[in-house]
Structure 1
Amino acid sequence: MKASHVRLEHVTKTFTRGRNGAQVVALDDVSLDVARGEVFGVIGHSGAGKSTLIRLINGLESPTSGRVHVGDQEITALPERDRRAVRRDIGMIFQQFNLFRSRTVAGNVAYPLKVAGVGRAERDRRVARLLDFVGLLDRAHDHPEQLSGGQKQRVGIARALATEPSLLLADEATSALDPRTTGEVLALLGRVNRELGVTVVLITHELDVIRAVADRVAVMDGGRVVEEGAIYDVFANPGTPAAADFVRGALRDRPSPETLARLRHRHPGRIVTVTLRDRTGFQTALAKTFLAHDVAADIIYGGIDELQERPIGSLTFELTGPDGGIRAALDALRADGIILTEEA
């Protein structure tokens, strides 16, 4: 088992808002463990507590209660002077790039090195190496306004890596980009993880971002972590409404209530949605079970995708035949561990 790189233990964070001093709970008893060298995704809608979480990890905020560890340090126990030393080992990528308009591409990447007191020759060496890594060495003397959104974010990634951090925090890093550019930036973050060995924590509200690059994911809702696990497990069998909502939007493999109503007009039989399982002969087993009980099963909706080289999705069937046969077939499938939903 890999060592922890980031660990939160029962962290709560409250803010005082308004003239009446109302207490707002941004994080509520959050515990997380990010392994060294993994890509860890944190997903949630606006207001779920994601931005507060990332500010606690980089030491810009302190929890109301609980502890935050980064590497071997309990960052919550450190004075501000010592927190700055921990932050030098943490790179940040922002949604709106946060580049200096007055500086060139090379100047933006060099800035954190200059602040850290790195000599000119070493700065130039690192800047050239990083711009080559992100594919922008030929744009070193351009200014940010001459770049596309994706190129600006590549500069942001190069700048975040300038101090050679072991941890990279990406806060909605692709939200301002189009789908194609998002894919290119995510592929680059994958390279950062694989080739440089950097731990990456992705904060996002887009499940497609998580599924493209993350190893594990935590789902946040109302300041709490409501579900956590391997990407495939959370996608294939979400255990909470919040996780199911994200999965439904990403896979688009289950009929919405409106679509289901239209399907019912055309298909009078019993409608059942079966969750695809990652096992050999899954669909053949379905067909044999239905056939053994004289049940006709027609696929009327669904989709099968691939996640981490494993099939994922669901199929919606119209089942026709004797009521007893349908009941027996569904009981047999459930007994075989197959997850199915009878659409009301």
Structure 2
Amino acid sequence: MPADSRPTPVPAPVHVRFDQVGKSFPGKDRKAAPHVALADVSLEIRRGEVFGVIGHSGAGKSTLVRLINGLEVPTAGRVHVGPHELTALSERGRREVRRDIGMIFQQFNLFRSRTVAGNVAYPLKVGGVRQPERDRRVARLLDFVGLLDRAHDHPERLSGGQKQRVGIARALATEPSLLLADEATSALDPETTGEVLALLRRVNRDLGVTIVIITHELDVIRSVADRVAVLDSGRVVETGSVYDVFARPRTGAAARFAGATLRDRPSPETLARLRARHPGRLVTFRLRDQAGLQTRLARTFLDHKVAADIVFGGISELQERPVGSLTFELTGPDGAVDAALTALRTDGVDLVEEEA
């Protein structure tokens, strides 16, 4: 079949949808204005994807999670999970929907009095699953998360990463189609965080579970998420693929997350130090999935007889695509430097001359 006649892939069905959702809480006293936790939030999370929600403390992330699992009801708008409109259901109806949702917590929330196997079995016991089936599921899940040999240990004998793996196994015990991870790696060191995120990606890939990850860490999002929503002061300010949102941020909130994590642009303090050592013009070139950028830069500088030295920057990856910036000191006649920069802009190169 010719390449241009291939059918367009059909998007996966929507698993979670927010339609202009708002959530307010009463003020501390009768005269105080309500606290607006979320305002006019609209987003779609597709079945089978890993969707990240990133925002600083107080942005409304935990409220959003509680709306998805029906522990809170919105003040305005509608929340859909699968075929169900949660906002139209009674508390009993929301409990039924909640059975198809697993939760992973920041502080693990394990029972200290129960063994690893007992913790994983707990939601099955509450749900009335018979002992033989409980035992089969627990063994299968502990093997899946790599803790079958710790089944009879108590949580105090486990590391933080092992506790979180128990939490993941417990969240999967009822075979949910949707998994919510609320700051699930915030209490872990970087190496253990990577192991837990790899396990979550395996849960998504092997079991087909939709995962929503709530976090304030871009490294978490870039490691595991397919798409992301940036939450700022209760509003979704950007949403899209991880690469598009953070390689080409359109809002200050997304740009701050990208800058703090990628660290490829000089801060004002760093820029002042660079200027003290480098008298030439400092220009930053943004790499946004552009093949051969450094070769194009070198050729243009050579053609215009401009000397160029890299003084700051870095190249990283988002979703296996390069992203980053390189800051050069450019020396030569002003007219030659201007001509080189004009040629590069005409060629579509994303650049910014750092202000003095």
Specify the TM-score bucket, using the shorter chain as the normaliser.
Answer: over 0.9
- 1:192 is paired with a residue whose SS is helix
Matches within 5 A, 1:131-210: 131-210=142-221
- 2:114 is paired with a residue whose SS is coil
Q: What residue in structure 1 maps to residue 234 of structure 2? A: 223
Q: CA deviation at 1:268?
A: 1.0
Which region of structure 1 is more displaced relative to structure 2, 176-185 or 18-27?
A: 18-27
Structure 2 residue 271 is matched with structure 1 residue 239: no
User: Which deviations, in whole Å up to 9, do the C-alpha atoms of 1:253-280 show, x marking residues without a partner?
Assistant: 1111111100000011111111113132
Q: CA deviation at 1:157?
A: 0.2
Q: What residue in structure 1 maps to residue 63 of structure 2? A: 52
- 2:26 is paired with a residue whose SS is strand
Distance across 2 between alignment mates of 1:50 and 1:336:
41
Q: 1:260 aligns with which of 251, 262, 271?
A: 271
Distance across 2 between alignment mates of 1:50 and 1:333:
41
Unaligned runs of 5+ in 1: none
Distance across 2 between alignment mates of 1:27 and 1:248:
25
Distance across 2 between alignment mates of 1:318 and 1:326:
11
Which region of structure 1 is more displaced relative to structure 2, 19-28 or 239-248?
A: 19-28
Distance across 1 between alignment mates of 2:307 and 2:17:
52
Structure 2 residue 15 is matched with structure 1 residue 5: yes
Q: What residue in structure 1 maps to residue 28 of structure 2? A: 18
Distance across 2 between alignment mates of 1:79 and 1:313:
49
Which region of structure 1 is more displaced relative to structure 2, 182-191 or 305-314?
A: 305-314
Q: What residue in structure 2 maps to residue 271 of structure 1? A: 282
The letter of the residue matching 1:2 is A
Distance across 1 between alignment mates of 2:100 and 2:151:
25
- 1:156 is paired with a residue whose SS is helix
What TM-score, normalized by structure 2, do the two folds share?
A: 0.95
Distance across 2 between alignment mates of 1:331 and 1:219:
34
Distance across 1 between alignment mates of 2:75 and 2:354:
44
Distance across 2 between alignment mates of 1:142 and 1:277:
49
Q: CA deviation at 1:319?
A: 1.1
User: Which deviations, in whole Å up to 9, do the C-alpha atoms of 1:194-224 show, x marking residues without a partner?
Assistant: 0000000000001000000101111111111
Q: What residue in structure 2 maps to residue 125 of structure 1? A: 136
- 1:334 is paired with a residue whose SS is helix
RMSD in angstroms over aligned alpha carbons?
1.0
The letter of the residue matching 2:23 is K
Q: What residue in structure 1 maps to residue 331 of structure 2? A: 320
Q: What residue in structure 2 maps to residue 302 of structure 1? A: 313
User: Which deviations, in whole Å up to 9, do the C-alpha atoms of 1:246-304 show, x marking residues without a partner?
Assistant: 11111111111111100000011111111113132221111112222222111000011
Q: CA deviation at 1:232?
A: 1.1
Unaligned runs of 5+ in 2: 1-10
Count residues with an aligned counterpart.
344
The letter of the residue matching 1:8 is F
Q: What residue in structure 2 maps to residue 112 of structure 1? A: 123
- 2:288 is paired with a residue whose SS is coil
Q: CA deviation at 1:12?
A: 0.7
Q: CA deviation at 1:46?
A: 0.1
Which region of structure 1 is more displaced relative to structure 2, 155-164 or 324-333?
A: 324-333
Cα contact 1:277–1:338 (8 A) shared by 2:
no
Distance across 1 between alignment mates of 2:276 and 2:214:
42
Distance across 2 between alignment mates of 1:69 and 1:331:
50
- 2:231 is paired with a residue whose SS is strand
Distance across 2 between alignment mates of 1:320 and 1:292:
14
Q: CA deviation at 1:110?
A: 0.5
The letter of the residue matching 1:5 is H
Superposition misfits of 4+ residues, deviation over 4 angstroms: none
- 1:297 is paired with a residue whose SS is strand
The letter of the residue matching 2:208 is G
Distance across 2 between alignment mates of 1:285 and 1:265:
28
- 1:17 is paired with a residue whose SS is coil
What TM-score, normalized by structure 1, do the two folds share?
A: 0.98
Q: CA deviation at 1:113?
A: 0.6
Which region of structure 1 is more displaced relative to structure 2, 208-217 or 293-302?
A: 293-302
